[in-house]
Amino acid sequence: MKFGGTSVADIDHIRRVARHVRREATSGHQVAVVVSAMAGNTNQLVAWTRDMAPLHDAREYDTVVAAGEQVTAGLLAIALQDLGVDARSWLGWQVPIRTDAAHGAARITDIDTATLEERLSRGQVAVVAGFQGVGPDNRIATLGRGGSDTSAVALAAAIGADRCDIYTDIDGVYTTDPRVVDTARRLDRLSHEEMLEMASLGAKVLQVRSVELAMVQGVRTFVRSSFDDPDQTAPDGANASVGTLICDEDEIMEKSVVTGIAYSRDEAQISLRRVADKPGVAAAVFGPLAEANINVDMIVQNVSEDGTLTDLTFTVTNADYERACKVIEESREQVGYEVMQGSTGVAKVSVIGVGMRSHAGVAAECFQALAAEKINIRAITTSEIKISVLIDADHTNLAVRTLHSLYGLDKN
C-alpha cells in the first residue's frame, strides 16, 4: 500500500490511512506500506536548500529533502499502534534500500528484504519511508520528485507482493487530467505501455520510473483513492473496489484506438534560423547539449530546397531553457546559425493509445481538429502509440478538451 502526499497531509488524514491499513491487515494480508511526505512538505524542504545556496552539494540536498518521509513513516506507525495494529517504521537505510550514486535522482539497485519479511511473517506491518534509499557512499539518496511511487513498486517486486495499491487523491487514472476536462472518464484498466506514455508525457499520477519498473517486474499496480471510507471498502481492493488496474495489454478486453490525452506545460522551444544544411550540424548542436546533461525532446529540421540553409527547432524542459540557450550561444561558431529564437510559452499535448498501432488516420484527425480551433502546431513527434504536438501554452486546455471529445473519451 502506498500513500501519496495529499493522503498523509495532516494528522486526521494519517489516521484515515491507518484505518485503510488496518482493514487489509485484519483481513489476513501481510502489509508493507510506503508513505510520501505530507503534501507541500518536500517543496518547502527543496526551497530551503535553494535559499541556502542555489548551487549546493547534492548529498546534503538529499539529507534535507528525505526528512519529510521520516516524519510520516513514524506518525503512521504511531497511528497504527494506537489502533492496536503491530507496526514499525523503516527508513531507507534501515531496510536497506540500496541505490546508485546519483544523488537527487538515484535509482534503486537492490532491496534486502530478509529482516523486513521476517517481521511481516510475524504479522507486523512495515511502514517504509518512500523516496529514499542509501547510496554506495553510505549516505541518504533520494529517487527524484514523485519517487515514492517507485519505492512502492520496487518494494512490492522485492517482497513478491500480490498487489501494489497506490492510494492517491483521485480514484484512479483518468482519460485525461480531470482538473482540465470535467468530462474525463476513469479507466478500469490501462496497459503498462500506455501508462508509461501518459506519465512521461505529463500525467502526474505515477512517477515514470515506477511504471517502467512495474512493467519489467510484472507488478500489478492498482491506483485508487485514499479518501474513500476505509471501512466501507471490501478488503480485496483490486477485485472489489473502484480504481484503475495497470496491467499487461492482453488483459484488456475492451480496446479503443485512443486511451488518453496528456499535456505538459514544462516545455521550452529553441529555434535556430538559417543553419547550414550540411553533415555534422545536428551533432554540433546536440553534442554540447548532451555534455551539459540537457535532455532534448522534440526535434524538427527542414530539408532546404537548394541544400544551403535550413531551420532547426527543438524543445527542452523549462528548467533547462536558460542553460540550453547559453550552450547554443557558446557553440555558435561551430554550428553557424544566423539567429536563435526561443520561447517558454509552449506546451506539449499528446494523444496516447495502443490501438494506434493498427489504425491509420489518428494523426490526420488530430491536426484537422486543432486547425478547426485555430490552434497552430509548432512541432510534431510520433511513436507507434502516441502523437505529440507542440502548441502555444495559452491553448493547452482548449487543445486537450478538443482532442478528448474528438476521440470519444468524454463520459456520457
List residues binding Mg ion (CB under 5 A).
4, 146
Out of 169, 188, 212, 392, the residue judged to bind ligand ADP by CB under 6 A: 169
User: How far, in Å, are 149, 235, 242, 375, 398 from residue 6 at the CA level?
Assistant: 14, 22, 19, 35, 28
C-alpha cell at 33: 506500506
Contacted entry of ligand ASP, Mg ion, ligand ADP, none for residue 15, CB cut-off 5 to 8 Å set by kind: none
Among 142, 168, 259, 315, binds ligand ADP (CB under 6 A): 168
Q: With contacts defined by CB under 6 A, how many residues of the chain interact with ligand ADP?
A: 18
Residues 6+ apart with CB under 8 A from 378: 269, 313, 346, 389, 390, 391, 392
Sheet holding 97-99, edge to edge: 108-111, 97-99, 132-134, 140-142
CB of 213 to ligand ASP, least distance (A): 14
Give the Cα separation of 380 and 367 in Å (integer): 10
Q: Which stretch binds ligand ADP (CB under 6 A): 169-177, 328-336, 389-397, 399-407?
A: 169-177
Q: By CB under 6 A, is residue 146 in contact with ligand ADP?
A: yes
The amino acid sitting at 68 is G
* C-alpha radius of gyration, the chain, whole number: 23
String of contacts with ligand ASP for each residue 347-376, x by CB under 6 A: ------------------------------
| Number of residues binding to ligand ASP, judged by CB under 6 A | 13
Residue 124, interface with ligand ASP (CB under 6 A)? no
Count Cα atoms within 13 angstroms, Cβ side, for 84: 2
Distance (Å, whole) CA 80 – CA 74: 10
Using the rule CB under 6 A, give the single segment among 1-9, 99-107, 248-256, 331-339 that binds ligand ADP: 1-9
Whole-angstrom distance between the N-terminal and C-terminal Cα of the chain?
Answer: 32
Q: Which does 179 bind (CB under 5 to 8 A by kind): ligand ASP, Mg ion, ligand ADP, none?
A: ligand ADP
Question: Nearest distance from residue 107's CB to ligand ASP, in Å?
Answer: 15
CB 236 within 8 A of CB 245: no
What is residue 160's three-state secondary structure? Answer: coil
Cell of 162: 500480490
Residue with cell 529533502: 65
Read off the C-alpha cell for 148.
515514492
Q: Which stretch binds ligand ADP (CB under 6 A): 4-12, 109-117, 230-238, 351-359?
A: 4-12
- φ, ψ of residue 138 to 5 degrees: the values are 70, 20
Q: How far is the CB of 72 from ligand ASP (least distance, A)?
A: 9
Site for ligand ADP in 23-42 (CB under 6 A): 36
Q: Which class for 296: exposed (0-12), middle (13-18), buried (19 or more C-beta within 10 A)?
A: middle
Question: Quick check: 130 binds ligand ASP (CB under 6 A)?
Answer: yes
Cα 159 to chain centroid, rounded: 23
Measured CA to CA, the distance from residue 58 to residue 64 in angstroms comes to 10
Residues 23-82 binding ligand ASP (CB under 6 A) are: 36-37, 42, 68
CB 192 within 8 A of CB 246: yes
Confirm or reject binding of residue 133 to ligand ASP (CB under 6 A): no
- Distance (Å, whole) CA 42 – CA 131: 10
Which of 115, 150, 157 minimizes the C-alpha distance to 133? 150
DSSP 233: S
- List 38, 134, 173, 312, residue binding ligand ADP (CB under 6 A): 173
Partner whose footprint covers residue 357, from Mg ion, ligand ASP, ligand ADP, none (CB < 5 to 8 Å by kind): none
Q: Which is nearer to ligand ADP, 179 or 278 (CB)?
A: 179
- Of these partners, ligand ADP, Mg ion, ligand ASP, none, which one is at the site of residue 147 (CB under 5 to 8 Å by kind)? ligand ASP
Residue 130 near which of ligand ADP, ligand ASP, Mg ion, none (CB within 5-8 Å, type-dependent): ligand ASP
Q: Rule CB under 6 A: is residue 407 a binding residue for ligand ADP?
A: no
- Piece of 147-155, 164-172, 302-310, 367-375 that binds ligand ASP (CB under 6 A): 147-155
Q: Which is nearer to ligand ASP, 30 or 42 (CB)?
A: 42
Binding residues for ligand ADP, per CB under 6 A? 4-7, 36, 146, 168-170, 173-174, 176-177, 179, 203-205, 260
Residues in the site for ligand ASP, rule: CB under 6 A? 4-5, 36-37, 42, 68, 130-131, 145-149
